[in-house]
Amino acid sequence: MSRKYFGTDGVRGTANQYPMTADMALKLGAAVGRYFRNDGDNQHRVVIGKDTRLSGYMFESALTAGLTSTGMNVLLLGPIPTPAVGMLTKSMRADLGVMISASHNPAIDNGIKFFGPDGFKLSDEAELEIESMVLEGVEPVQPQNIGRAKRVDDGRFRYIERVKNSLPKGLPFKGLKVVVDCANGAAHKAAPEALWELGAEVISIGVNPNGLNINENCGSTHTQTAAEAVVAHGADVGISLDGDADRVMVIDEKGNVADGDQLMALLACRWAEAGKLSGGALVATVMSNLGLERHLESKGLHLERTAVGDRYVVERMRKGGFNLGGEQSGHIVMTDYATTGDGLMAGLQFLAAMVESGKTASELSKTFETVPQLLKNVRYGAGQLPLDESSVKSVIADAEGRLTGKGRLLIRKSGTEPLIRVMAECEDETLLTEVVDGIVAEVAAVAG
């Protein structure tokens, strides 16, 4: 059975358009509340965090109404990073955690992510069951059993302490000049505060959210802003987060950007040398560069690949007993410290590597040589299925034949946006461009 509302990272879409409406949020709140409060006890609680989108107020209120209607007590955390919600769900003994965010998407979008009582994102099976409850409807509790809601003010500070405690004790960041780009998002207070408390000289950008400027020309999907700031201020390093701070890109002192693959390679090798890498493997998705796989093999390490989505990475990590994984896009998951991708925590690990090794950011951020990779996206309309068209299938088959023995091709629908993602890797860059552009052109023609 396919999922109707949930994508690779919760429910997501344009705010005030199906399925991201207040009515749907109310129904989702009631369904997930009933899913976790099934014994009639009134001690159940849920924590709700959000990023800085204007629509967050609407969804926060709707979810609260749905959850309290099933007897859940709601603790409202306000703007806070996604990994903080995962952490606080478990540490505050909540039955459920909810994050209202569309991550790296523009401000007009929003999304809802759920965490179980262990702080990890819900399984496909749980999401399917919640969807069926949304469709069937949920019986509200008796008036005397309606839940309560209240604001919680110390969530951010609890999270900052947890992030700081992921570092070796007594590691000084004094003398490091760090640019941190918070994407006008959920970490606009937590990230600068954590870095300053650790002793760094902090230059903060993307810390003036107005509800409409999250991820706008800033953050991990627009690293030029942070790169320019690093060079202009003569900073040692830049940390560029996305809207909900579960992703990070690192910028060296010259303004060059290191993606999640490079950061994972650095951490995997350092952890392996220190005897800290569980299972001798790194878990990453099919999108990670072939160069990463080759580099790990040269070090006697293994790359475990999963479907795209950080929760699939986490599922594989938990099943195999691995403690490091992530995505090329900058989700870095360290299950010794967190239950989901944590951009700030990963950025601090990079700073720790700089301090411990005495090397510059540019010396550490280029761990391996990448195989030429090209990724292009094609937007399609509602109800369209461009990958099912015979002409598109024919072009893809031809491309696969041309790449046989020379590279690899990956084509998939985005789980968070109406996009077809076309990615290929090949040492022959001319062939690489021809293959990707050919597929993109045909998909675009079909999609109109």
Q: What amino acid positions are annotated as catalytic residues?
A: 103
Q: Are 187 and 51 in contact (CB under 8 A)?
A: no
Beta-carbon neighbour count of residue 319 at 10 Å?
10
- Nearest in space to 47 (alpha carbons), one of 145, 126, 116: 116
How far apart CA 5 and CA 58 sit, in angstroms, is: 19
∠ at Cα 16 (19, 30), nearest 5°?
55
How far apart CA 146 and CA 265 sit, in angstroms, is: 49
How far apart CA 445 and CA 244 sit, in angstroms, is: 34
How far apart CA 238 and CA 252 sit, in angstroms, is: 6
- Nearest in space to 112 (alpha carbons), one of 96, 101, 104, 121: 101
CA dist 122 to 44, 128, 262, Å?
A: 18, 10, 28
- Nearest in space to 68 (alpha carbons), one of 94, 44, 50, 49: 44
Name the burial class of residue 360, with classes exposed (0-12), middle (13-18) and buried (19+) by CB atoms within 10 angstroms of its CB. middle
User: Kind of pairing, strands 302-306 and 281-285?
Assistant: parallel
How far apart CA 360 and CA 440 sit, in angstroms, is: 39
How many residues belong to the chain?
A: 448
Amino acid present at 381? G
Q: Are 432 and 372 in contact (CB under 8 A)?
A: yes
